[in-house]
DNA sequence: CAGTCAGCCTAACACCGTTAGGCCGTCTTG
DNA sequence: CAAGACGGCCTAACGGTGTTAGGCTGACTG
């Protein structure tokens, strides 16, 4: 199963979530409205509510799928890597750059964890924790750095001439040599 | 002058921006609508457009004020400090915790720099750069870490039992001992 | 054959940012 | 002093948002 989150839905609900994902990826969060979404699958907006509780729940499904994809990507990146820290950081950045809209959706607001598929958040965090040798403190610090780099880049907050590859390298190096807990 | 941004506005426009700030601080970005804002100063929403170009511009004014406040806070914190890096990091966190809604407004989306008061963004960044001994690379890395810590905390992304004070301390230490460019 | 019910529909509500156009009082100008 | 301009407010409206209420239709079930 490509996604256990999608697998747990009725076929029509799965269709809706997949259409929402398409809309999000192609046009960003601003285009993800119930009316646009209905249009995309040939249904009026109110009818979507027969299959999906509300928009927040729909977004939570997208976020759950995002966590699943992160978990797979991070695990693949760190497996068989001699420098798991560097590998997972690169994978983190790659995920955000390839799915900027989904990454934003996943991070820009407080999580409604009660709406997420159980376990997906932890599953995405686990490979990162393992790459940090199980040190929670260092993992959180690295995560903060990585998220900050990614979201500031997505928001065009760095000067255009900034060499972000270099900033990443130096930042990661700082955490690699950080004294373990 | 407490704020050169506000000083550059007509009295009525200044009133509007200040009311918007109140609304934002008290009830968050969701409450910052033109109708709610008009209500607050005894005016219908459309009349606001006599004084303010549009909502984006109004938000840009709030962001400019935020940058001014950051500049003042960061400068005060680093002046006469023997550990400017630690001082500026603490000030950064303090600003975000005291003004969470404004901090979000300032960072969560791409900046419309053409709408900002000129120079305010640089003015806020300067004390941070100075605290890092003028090293742009390290400044960006520290900024990414600090922003990541702050926004993940505001979004309740860390486990409730996480000792964030400690994560801050260790992260800052990593950047303090980072090899200069 | 009758009844239930899934799955769609339209109409509507309350909100959003924003524009068009009108009214009124004050201030400037011939 | 009269007249026109204009600042500063208003209401009405448009197209958008998420969401609820209530109705229709067709298929499956007792």
Note the pLDDT tens digit of each residue in A166-175: 999 999 999 8
Summarize the confidence of residues A17-22 as an average pLDDT.
Answer: 98
Judging contacts by C-beta atoms under 8 Å, the chain A residues touching residue B147 are 148, 151-152
Interface test with A, best of B111, B125, B140, B173 (most A CBs within 10 A): B140
Burial class (CB in 10 A: 0-12, 13-18, 19+), A115: middle
Choose among B136, B158, B173: nearest Cβ to A140: B158
> Which residue, chain included where needed, has tokens 């046009």?
A27
Judging contacts by C-beta atoms under 8 Å, the chain A residues touching residue B151 are 107, 147-148, 151
Above pLDDT 90, what percent of chain B? 91
Give how far Cα B137 sits from Cα of A60, A97, A163, B69, B85, Å: 36, 21, 8, 24, 14
Give tens-digit pLDDT for B30-54. 999 999 999 999 999 999 999 999 9
On whether the CB atoms of residues B155 and B104 are closer than 8 A, the answer is no
Cβ of residue A138 closer than 8 Å to a chain B Cβ: yes
Q: In this complex, how many residue pairs, one in chain A and one in chain B, have their CB atoms less than 8 Å apart?
A: 108
> Which residue, chain included where needed, has tokens 């804002």?
B37
Q: Distance, in angstroms, between B42 CA and closest chain A CA?
A: 31
Average pLDDT for chain A:
95
Above pLDDT 90, what percent of chain A? 91
On whether the CB atoms of residues B137 and A166 are closer than 8 A, the answer is yes
pLDDT tier at A1, thresholds 50, 70, 90: low
Nucleotide nearest to B12 in CA–C1' terms: D8
Query: Among chain B residues 50 through 69, which have CB within 7 angstroms of nucleic chain D?
Result: 50-51
> Who's near A79: CB < 8 A, 6+ residues apart?
none
On whether the CB atoms of residues B14 and B4 are closer than 8 A, the answer is no
Give tens-digit pLDDT for B149-174. 999 999 999 999 999 999 999 999 99
Pick from A36, A48, A149: nearest CA to A92: A149
pLDDT tier at B86, thresholds 50, 70, 90: very high
> Which residue, chain included where needed, has tokens 């918007």?
B20
**CA within 13 Å, CB half, A155:** 22
pLDDT at residue B180 is higher than 70: no
User: Which bases of strand C have any atom within 7 Å of the beta carbon of a protein residue?
Assistant: 6-12, 15-21
Q: Distance, in angstroms, between B27 CA and closest chain A CA?
A: 16
Buried/exposed code over A124-133 (b: 16+ C-beta within 10 A; e: otherwise): bbebbbbbbe
Residues 73-112 of B with CB under 8 A from A: 107-111
pLDDT at residue B175 is higher than 90: no
A16 token code pair: 């809706």
On whether the CB atoms of residues B138 and A170 are closer than 8 A, the answer is yes
Superfamily of domain A4-176: Tetracycline Repressor, domain 2 (1.10.357.10)
Cβ of residue B122 closer than 8 Å to a chain A Cβ: no
B45 token code pair: 């929403």
Give tens-digit pLDDT for A82-93. 999 999 999 999
Hey, are the CB atoms on A178 and B174 less than 8 Å from each other? Answer: yes
| Interatomic separation, CA of residue A5 and C1' of nucleotide D25, rounded (Å) | 33
Ranges of H-type helices in chain B: 4-7, 11-27, 34-40, 45-48, 55-78, 84-98, 100-107, 120-131, 136-154, 164-176
B43 touches strand D (CB under 7 A): yes
Judging contacts by C-beta atoms under 8 Å, the chain A residues touching residue B167 are 137, 140-141, 144
Q: Distance, in angstroms, between B36 CA and closest chain A CA?
A: 22
In total, chain B counts a number of residues equal to 181
Please report the sign of the dihedral spanned by the C-alpha atoms of residue B79, residue B80, residue B81, residue B82: positive
On whether the CB atoms of residues A180 and A135 are closer than 8 A, the answer is yes
pLDDT tier at A150, thresholds 50, 70, 90: very high
A152 token code pair: 């500031």
Q: What is the structure's pLDDT at A3?
A: 83
B147 touches strand C (CB under 7 A): no
Residues B104 and B115: their CA atoms lie apart, in Å, by 18
Give tens-digit pLDDT for B105-118. 999 999 999 999 99
pLDDT at residue B139 is higher than 60: yes
B33 touches strand C (CB under 7 A): yes
- Which residue's CA lies closest to nucleotide C20 at its C1' atom? B46
Q: Distance, in angstroms, between B94 CA and closest chain A CA?
A: 17
């Amino acid at each position: 199963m490509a996604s256990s989150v999608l697998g747990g839905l009725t076929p029509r609900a799965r269709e809706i979530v997949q259409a929402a994902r398409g809309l999000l990826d192609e046009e960003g969060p601003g285009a993800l409205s119930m009316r646009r979404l209905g249009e995309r699958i040939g249904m009026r907006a109110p009818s979507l509510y027969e299959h999906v509780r509300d928009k927040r729940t729909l977004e939570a499904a997208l976020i759950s799928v995002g966590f699943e994809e992160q978990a797979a990507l991070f695990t693949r990146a760190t497996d068989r890597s001699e420098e798991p820290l560097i590998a997972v950081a690169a994978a983190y950045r790659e995920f955000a750059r390839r799915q900027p809209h989904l990454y934003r959706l996943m991070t820009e607001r407080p999580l409604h964890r009660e709406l997420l598929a159980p376990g997906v958040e932890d599953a995405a965090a686990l490979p990162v924790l393992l790459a940090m040798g199980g040190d929670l403190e260092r993992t959180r610090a690295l995560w903060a750095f990585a998220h900050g780099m990614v979201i500031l880049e997505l928001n065009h907050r760095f000067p255009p001439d900034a060499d972000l590859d270099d900033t990443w390298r130096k930042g990661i190096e700082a955490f690699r040599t950080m004294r373990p807990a």
